[in-house]
């Protein structure tokens, strides 16, 4: 098997593109896919300051690496969830990467849930009688947005890949979550003041391709999934999509990119959403961040946790 580009020995096959690449051509292919994503979805420009949400996993560290290599100004933001050995290992991966790139300028910001919210994510979820992942989602969304806005970043980038987006789309379609479908895209505009622009520059790359990128470019990452992810619906959707992909390479790409194409044709979704958000969103009465109700879900969650502690 030879590289489609340079005809030397290939190290990876990409069936959905009918291609095979050597290390250099594969790295160029990955960079090219991210460049295309940034341009076609109007994510950010050369002068923008980007805050990358890093978890220690392959996707977010690959994203940080790719953006830096493409010459963008990107810093990292890590939320330490306080999930025992998992959080310790993931934080050490993030720190290792951050220390290696620090001489080039990028900074790493950290938010520690145990310190700021008063308890680790599992304890917090237990206190508010909510599933761990939904509590985690509320806190991460809130803190990501806050970090980007307060630290004056132009955009917040996350490492969601093609597999994540296709699985999420499948879940939204299966349950006809129309509101979520409307908002599912690689770029969420900064529709109102206090609401950071959010982008997903890896939506053109699969999980397997990002793992290969890390291995070939010697980026160390935490291989284990978060222990709380066990049994999550998304994992089942990913499994189903992987079976379809094996039978028919390109399925995930046709499914998700096809959806984006339809969305684009239907309307300029970001403009429509921006207008819709402006009418729906107001300032949280407690913290001032944008929300659709009087008090945002983070402040409600924290108030409930405080009530539990007070007894």
Residues that bind ligand SF4 (CB under 6 A): 121, 132-133, 136-137, 226, 228-229
Contact present, 144 and 111 (Cβ < 8 Å): no
| CB-count burial class (<10 Å; 0-12, 13-18, 19+) for 192 | middle
Question: Considering CB distances under 5 to 8 angstroms, the limit depending on partner class, which of Zn ion, ligand SF4, none binds residue 299?
Answer: Zn ion
* Shortest CB 55 distance to ligand SF4, Å: 7
In this chain, which of 273, 284, 302, 305 binds Zn ion, going by CB under 5 A?
284
* Shortest CB 297 distance to Zn ion, Å: 8
Please report, for residues 41, 85, 118, 212, the alpha-carbon distance to residue 92 in angstroms, rounded to integers and kept in the order given: 33, 11, 22, 21
299 binds Zn ion (CB under 5 A): yes
Cα–Cα distance, 101 to 78 (Å, whole number): 15
Question: Considering CB distances under 5 to 8 angstroms, the limit depending on partner class, which of Zn ion, ligand SF4, none binds residue 133?
Answer: ligand SF4
* Shortest CB 302 distance to Zn ion, Å: 8
* Shortest CB 142 distance to Zn ion, Å: 8
Cα–Cα distance, 257 to 252 (Å, whole number): 8
Q: Which residues, in sequence order, are CB contacts of 224 under 8 Å at separation 6+?
A: 86, 89
Task: List 155's β-bridge partners, or say none.
Answer: 50, 197
Question: Considering CB distances under 5 to 8 angstroms, the limit depending on partner class, which of Zn ion, ligand SF4, none binds residue 286?
Answer: Zn ion
* Shortest CB 56 distance to ligand SF4, Å: 10
Q: Which is nearer to ligand SF4, 12 or 136 (CB)?
A: 136
Q: Helices (DSSP H) in 102-204: which residue ranges? A: 113-116, 121-127, 132-150, 162-174, 178-183
Q: Which is nearer to ligand SF4, 121 or 299 (CB)?
A: 121
Cα–Cα distance, 12 to 21 (Å, whole number): 6
Question: Considering CB distances under 5 to 8 angstroms, the limit depending on partner class, which of ligand SF4, Zn ion, none binds residue 62?
Answer: none
214 binds Zn ion (CB under 5 A): no
């Amino acid at each position: 098997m030879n590289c489609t580009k340079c005809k030397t020995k290939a190290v990876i096959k990409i069936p959905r593109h009918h291609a095979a690449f050597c290390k250099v051509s594969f790295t160029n292919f990955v960079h090219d896919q991210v460049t295309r994503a940034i341009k076609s979805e109007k994510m950010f420009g050369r002068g923008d300051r980007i805050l990358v949400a890093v978890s220690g996993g392959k996707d977010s560290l690959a994203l940080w690496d790719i953006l830096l290599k493409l010459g963008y100004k990107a810093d990292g933001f890590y939320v330490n969830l306080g999930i025992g050995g998992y959080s310790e290992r993931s934080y050490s991966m993030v720190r290792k990467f951050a220390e290696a790139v620090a001489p080039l300028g990028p900074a790493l910001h950290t938010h520690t849930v145990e310190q700021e919210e008063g308890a680790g994510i599992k304890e917090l979820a237990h206190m508010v009688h909510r599933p761990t992942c939904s509590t985690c989602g509320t806190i991460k969304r809130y803190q990501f947005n806050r970090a980007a806005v307060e630290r004056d970043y132009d955009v917040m980038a996350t490492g969601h890949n093609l597999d994540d987006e296709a699985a999420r789309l499948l879940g939204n379609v299966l349950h006809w979550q129309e509101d979520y479908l409307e908002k599912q895209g690689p770029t969420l505009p900064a529709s109102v003041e206090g609401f950071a622009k959010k982008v997903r520059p890896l939506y053109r790359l699969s999980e397997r391709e990002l793992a290969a990128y890390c291995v070939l470019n010697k980026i160390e990452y935490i291989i284990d999934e978060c222990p709380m992810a066990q049994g999550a619906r998304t994992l089942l959707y990913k499994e189903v999509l992987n079976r379809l992909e094996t039978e028919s390479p390109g399925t995930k790409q046709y499914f998700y990119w096809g959806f984006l194409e339809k969305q684009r044709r239907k309307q300029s979704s970001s403009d429509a959403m921006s207008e819709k958000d402006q009418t729906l969103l107001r300032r949280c009465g407690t913290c001032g961040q944008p929300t659709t109700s009087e008090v945002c879900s983070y402040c409600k969650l924290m108030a409930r946790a405080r009530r539990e502690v007070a007894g």
